[in-house]
Amino acid sequence: MNRKPKTSALVIQTIIAIVIAIYVLFPFYMVVVNSMKSTTGIVNDPLTPAGADFKTFIGNLSGVINNDYFLFWKAFACSVVITVVSVLLLNLFGAMAGWVISRNQKKKWASAIYFTFIASMIIPFQVVMLPLVANFKKIGDFIGIKMNYSIPGIIFAYLGFGGAMTVFILTGFIKGVPYDLEESASIDGCSPEGTFFRIIFPLLKPVIMTVTILNGMWIWNDFLLPSMMLGLDGEFKTIPVAVQSFVGSYVTEWNMIMAAALLAMVPMVIVFLFAQKQIVQGMIDGAVKG
């Protein structure tokens, strides 16, 4: 591998890479440029920055942020709460369940639970969505806690739907943690729950990272489940739901839609800039292990 690559080949490769990068980034450029224009500015010239100015940009942004269908800050807060709480609970409960399953893997009940979780990963959301909403309404009415159109309800649903994949990845990892560690702890008089929280859980850091990224990206960008559980016109909306309900009410004004798209993209892009390595690694690990 010590052969030096030919310069001409390198130049061609670089040019190809740049052309593809321009193509891939072009839609992002369109969003930024056109969210700074007026409607007529877009009709005149959607391609170049001509007609884009900062004042229109601020006007468009504030128009979108305060729009009754979008309400960006509220949607942002909902998305953050739903994503963060679901991911944290999935990590904790997933690790707990994964530990129990991997430490009882020779027992029939544990492998039955494990197999059920794995098999359920095939189930598409479409099969369960209608009965899920109907059941949650009934259960909510009965117990007196709102399950539809409510944040605790959707977090509950995410625990159910994310559980299988989380347990699958975590169990696989915990199986590789040497059992001796736990045995010596229990000889020292540590209770099983103490062993888990003090010894096993801290060891799971790398795989918790993977699971956090996979679940976080999924929940943040998910549309169908929140549109069912929260409704397109409900009190609470996640960002994708807010975008859909905004566009549904606003079809023609593209500068406003672009401003909404920009607002919806920015949080994820910022997170990516800071945690690029972790996100890329998490996505790869998730694909290879999952």
Partner 1 sequence: MNEFSAGRKAVSFLILLAGIALLVGALIFDGIASSGGYDFGGRGAMLVCGILVTIAGIYLFPTLKHHRAIVYGLFLFPLLFTFLLTVIIPMCFGIAYSFTDWNGIRLTKVVGFNNYIAMFKRPEFLWSIIVTFLFVLLNVILVNVIGFLLALLCTTKIKALGFFRASYFLPNLIGGIVLGYVWKFIFNKVLTQIMNTETSMLTSSGTALIAIVVVYIWQYGGYIMLIYITGLTGVPADTLEAASIDGANAWQTLTKIKIPMIAPTITICTFLTLTSAFKQFDVNLALTNGSGSVNFFGNYITNGSEMLALNIYHTAFTENNYALSQAESVLFFIILAIVSIIQVRSSNKKEVSL
- Interaction with partner 1 in 43-62: which residues (CB under 8 A)? 45-47
Cα distances from 19 to residues 12, 16, 26, 34, in angstroms, run 11, 5, 10, 22
Can you list the positions of beta strands (E) in 109-243?
none
| 124: helix, strand or coil | coil
Residue 38 interacts with partner 1 (CB under 8 A): yes or no = no
Q: Which is nearer to partner 1, 58 or 119 (CB)?
A: 119
Residue choice 65, 84, 96, 209 for contact with partner 1 (CB under 8 A): 96
Cα distances from 167 to residues 160, 161, 208, in angstroms, run 11, 11, 11
Residue choice 40, 66, 135, 184 for contact with partner 1 (CB under 8 A): 135
Cα distances from 231 to residues 87, 155, 235, 241, 264, in angstroms, run 22, 14, 8, 8, 18
Q: Which two tokens stand for residue 56?
A: 């229109």
Which residues within the stretch 107-126 sit at the binding site for partner 1 (CB under 8 A)?
Answer: 113, 116-117, 120-124, 126
155/274 Cα distance (integer angstroms)? 26
Residue choice 134, 179, 198, 235 for contact with partner 1 (CB under 8 A): 134
Residue choice 36, 64, 75, 97 for contact with partner 1 (CB under 8 A): 97
Judge contact between 100 and 169, C-beta under 8 A.
no
Residue choice 108, 144, 202, 274 for contact with partner 1 (CB under 8 A): 144
Residue choice 141, 183, 233, 235 for contact with partner 1 (CB under 8 A): 141
Residue choice 88, 112, 181, 284 for contact with partner 1 (CB under 8 A): 284
Residue 65 interacts with partner 1 (CB under 8 A): yes or no = no
151/141 Cα distance (integer angstroms)? 16
Judge contact between 231 and 164, C-beta under 8 A.
no
Stretch that binds partner 1, among 56-64, 157-165, 173-181, 203-211 (CB under 8 A): 157-165
Q: Which is nearer to partner 1, 77 or 280 (CB)?
A: 280
Stretch that binds partner 1, among 64-72, 175-183, 200-208, 259-267 (CB under 8 A): 259-267
Residue 199 interacts with partner 1 (CB under 8 A): yes or no = no
Residue choice 89, 151, 177, 203 for contact with partner 1 (CB under 8 A): 89
Residue 110: how many CA atoms within 13 Å on its side-chain side? 14
